[in-house]
């Protein structure tokens, strides 16, 4: 009896690990971004085998079924899958629980947080082709009731193995962006969309900013510019007859934004709103837009002073009275008629000295005559 109990314990010991490994495929919630737009949750297959996750769910804490995200397809070994919700309000910014459930709604993994966070990047999706192991049909042995020979039973037709072929994931790759632009300056971004639905119209826009801000870049359409939160029907559209298309779009950094390092992405959406996808992330340097001032030489005119010519007034010589010998010797009545010279008021000062000299000269001439007349008396 003792050896029998020991044997049972050994069987349980070596069997339980394999059972728990099969029950837990090691799909874990590895990251999330609850305070951003869009919000997203990332899971990883940490096992060494591919896992079919069709019918799995990602739930938040509100227990509203319409908010559950139903997964499909297959996840490669060590591969990632990111679930993105474009609209805000799926995950709470605080006091939230995110759960991962399998096809039977059994809890696979769960994380809770008190304060949410904003993450700017996540891993690239890794899908795979999953081939489930076929289940052999259950055969019920036919009991032998009599020695009578029983005819051979027909050989059961084997069930063909089904292969889940996931639809190739749509991807967007930014081909080129300028390395540096100025605030409010137009620039062009070229990108390629792969695995799109042929003849299906998609909206597309450019967005990005600094430090997790997605509102710093505007997209141009018909000479107008639209920001990250503008309605989708304002943005440009594209479609292709094939499953791949290269496209260019014009954008600019908003005039009220500052210089620095900006991240930039392309986002597309089906016209009916049933699907969204973002591109890989690129970086550009944004500089401030400063006006260039061109100095203008303003020459100061040099004033030329022309000397004002001083008018020269011609002086009229004063005529002295003619004195005859008779007048000097015997005449007693001498009449002097002085000549009055008009001097302009403006030249009074200048003509005063010549006038004085004339008066003195006249006195000197009259002095002998006056003496002679005085002696005769």
pLDDT tens digit string along 315-341?
Answer: 455 454 554 544 444 444 444 444 444
pLDDT confidence of 122, banded at 50, 70, 90?
confident
How far lies 234's CA from each of 68, 228, 230, 268, 271, in Å? 30, 11, 7, 13, 12
C-alpha torsion angle, residues 186, 188, 189, 190 (rounded to 10): 170
Are β-strands 180-182 and 282-287 bridged in parallel, bridged antiparallel, or unpaired?
parallel
- The predicted model gives 153-178 an average pLDDT of 77
State the Cα–Cα distance between residues 35 and 214, nearest whole angstrom.
12
State the Cα–Cα distance between residues 278 and 193, nearest whole angstrom.
10
Higher pLDDT, 24 or 4: 4
Does 16 score more than 70 pLDDT?
no
Domain boundaries of the chain, sorted by first residue: 21-115, 171-287
How many CB atoms sit inside 10 A of residue 202's CB?
24
Q: Which of 75-89, 103-117, 310-324, 349-363 has the highest mean pLDDT?
A: 103-117
Q: Which two tokens stand for residue 132?
A: 């489930």
CATH topology of domain 171-287: Immunoglobulin-like (2.60.40)
In sequence order, the 6+-apart residues with CB closer than 8 A to the CB of 120 are 33, 212, 263, 281
CATH class belonging to 21-115: mainly beta
pLDDT confidence of 266, banded at 50, 70, 90?
very high
b vs e for 124-148, b when ≥16 Cβ sit within 10 Å of the residue's Cβ? ebbbbebeeeeeeeeeeeeeeeeee
DSSP string for 125-169: B-B--B-PPPPPPP-PPPP--SSSPPPPPPPPPPPPPP-B-PPPP
Domains 21-115 and 171-287 belong to one CATH topology = yes
pLDDT confidence of 120, banded at 50, 70, 90?
confident
Average pLDDT, whole number, for the chain? 78
Does 54 score more than 60 pLDDT?
yes
Least confident of 62-66, 69-73, 99-103, 269-273: 62-66
* pLDDT in the model for residue 185: 92
């Amino acid at each position: 009896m003792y050896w029998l109990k020991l044997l049972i314990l050994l069987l349980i010991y070596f069997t339980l690990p394999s059972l728990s490994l099969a029950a837990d495929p090691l799909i874990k919630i590895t990251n999330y971004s609850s305070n951003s737009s869009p919000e997203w949750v990332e899971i990883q297959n940490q096992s060494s085998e591919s896992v079919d996750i069709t019918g799995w769910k990602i739930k938040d804490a509100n227990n509203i079924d319409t908010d559950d995200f139903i997964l499909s397809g297959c996840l490669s070994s060590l591969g990632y899958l990111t679930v993105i919700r474009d609209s805000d309000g799926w995950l709470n910014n605080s006091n939230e629980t995110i759960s991962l459930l399998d096809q039977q709604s059994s809890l696979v993994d769960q994380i809770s947080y008190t304060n949410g966070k904003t993450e700017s990047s996540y891993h690239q999706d890794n899908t795979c082709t999953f081939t489930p192991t076929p289940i052999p049909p259950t055969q019920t042995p036919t009991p032998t009731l009599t020695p009578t020979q029983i005819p051979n039973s027909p050989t059961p037709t084997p069930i063909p193995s089904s292969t889940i072929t996931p639809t190739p994931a749509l991807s967007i790759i930014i081909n080129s962006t300028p390395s540096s632009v100025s605030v409010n300056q137009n620039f062009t971004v070229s990108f390629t969309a792969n695995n799109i639905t042929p003849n299906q119209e998609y909206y597309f826009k450019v967005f990005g900013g600094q430090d997790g801000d997605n509102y710093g870049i505007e997209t141009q359409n018909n000479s107008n510019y639209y920001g990250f939160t503008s309605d989708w029907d304002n943005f440009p559209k594209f479609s292709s007859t094939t499953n791949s298309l290269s496209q260019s779009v014009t954008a600019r950094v908003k005039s009220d934004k500052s210089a620095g390092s900006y991240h930039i992405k392309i986002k597309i959406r089906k016209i009916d709103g049933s699907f969204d996808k973002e591109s890989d992330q690129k970086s550009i340097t944004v500089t401030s837009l400063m006006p260039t001032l061109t100095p203008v030489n303003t020459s100061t005119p040099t004033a030329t002073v022309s000397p004002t010519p001083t008018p020269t007034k011609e002086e009229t010589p004063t005529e002295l009275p003619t004195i005859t010998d008779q007048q000097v010797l015997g005449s007693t009545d001498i009449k002097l008629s002085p000549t009055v010279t008009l001097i302009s008021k403006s030249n009074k000062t200048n003509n005063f000295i010549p006038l004085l000299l004339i008066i003195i000269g006249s006195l000197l001439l009259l002095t002998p005559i006056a003496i002679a007349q005085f002696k005769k008396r």
